[in-house]
Chain A
Amino acid sequence: MAESDRPAAEPQRHKMPPFRPDPELLGVIEGNTRQLAKAKRDLYAYLRELDEQERRLSEG
């Protein structure tokens, strides 16, 4: 079979890194610092939850 007759190879797939928003990247517009502090706390808690889920998955 000639090289040109071969079916085109599937496009190479790249793996997206896991969903990990960086809390330190958060900022606010309109200077609402209380909202920013709460959002950071929420995001850190969410990341801890993600870590916990990953840990449980790797154990189980």
Chain B
Amino acid sequence: MSDDDSLPSLGLVTAEVDRLVAEQERRAERYDTIAGLLVAFCAALIGLSDDPSLFGAAAALACMASTAASMASLVVRVSLRPSPRSLRRYGEQPRSWTGTRLLDLKIWVYERDEALLAQKAARLRVALSCVAIGVGFSLTGTFELALR
């Protein structure tokens, strides 16, 4: 990659970091998909439930909590990238210097995004727990109605 050959493995390292960044982006997208599905599932569960008992109310409450946690997870975005206009300033620098600065930025953003993704995953775990509790209450309510 570096035509001045001062850092011969820079291209290799950058390609590996790029691969990790792409994997991280896929992970963020997966979390967003799960959060979206949870919101839809909870909306359906609340909408379709006609259980007037305490179990029904508890299930609806748990589903609302799950929706809130899913939305909170969706709010966390990982969207930092090098700015094209700022990149222009590097046009006159040696290739290995520019490559190193870009690599450093990618690594810093990757580490920052990892922290954000951990936050996203934690909120998603809360949402999943709430929906599991909601489904539990809903099923208990259904059984209770059937046994009456």
Q: Which residues of A contact B (CB under 8 A)?
A: 14, 16-17, 19-22, 24-30, 32, 35-36, 39, 42-43, 46
Shortest Cβ-Cβ A-B pairs, 4 listed: A27-B83, A21-B108, A21-B104, A21-B105
Q: Decide if B82 touches A30 in the complex (CB within 8 Å).
A: no
Given contacts A20-B104, A30-B77, A35-B77, is CB(A25)–CB(B6) below 8 Å? no
B10 nearest in chain A by CB position: A16
Instruction: Please name all residues of chain B whose beta carbon is closer than 8 Å to the beta carbon of A27 when the two chains form the complex.
Output: 80-86
What class of interface size applies to chain B in its complex with A?
Answer: 20 to 34
A40 nearest in chain B by CB position: B80
Assembly CA distance A21 to B103 (angstroms):
8
User: Which of A17, A28, A29, A43 is the one whose CB lies under 8 Å from B97?
Assistant: A17
Instruction: Please name all residues of chain A whose beta carbon is closer than 8 Å to the beta carbon of B107 when the two chains form the complex.
Output: 19, 21
Instruction: Please name all residues of chain A whose beta carbon is closer than 8 Å to the beta carbon of B132 when the two chains form the complex.
Output: none
Q: Decide if B7 touches A14 in the complex (CB within 8 Å).
A: yes
User: Which of B80, B84, B86, B100 is the one whose CB lies under 8 Å from A24?
Assistant: B86
Chain A to chain B contacts (Cβ below 8 Å), 27 pairs:
A14-B7, A16-B100, A17-B97, A17-B100, A19-B104, A21-B101, A21-B104, A22-B105, A24-B86, A25-B86, A25-B90, A25-B102, A26-B82, A26-B86, A26-B109, A27-B81, A27-B84, A28-B81, A28-B83, A29-B80, A29-B81, A30-B79, A36-B80, A39-B80, A39-B109, A39-B112, A43-B108
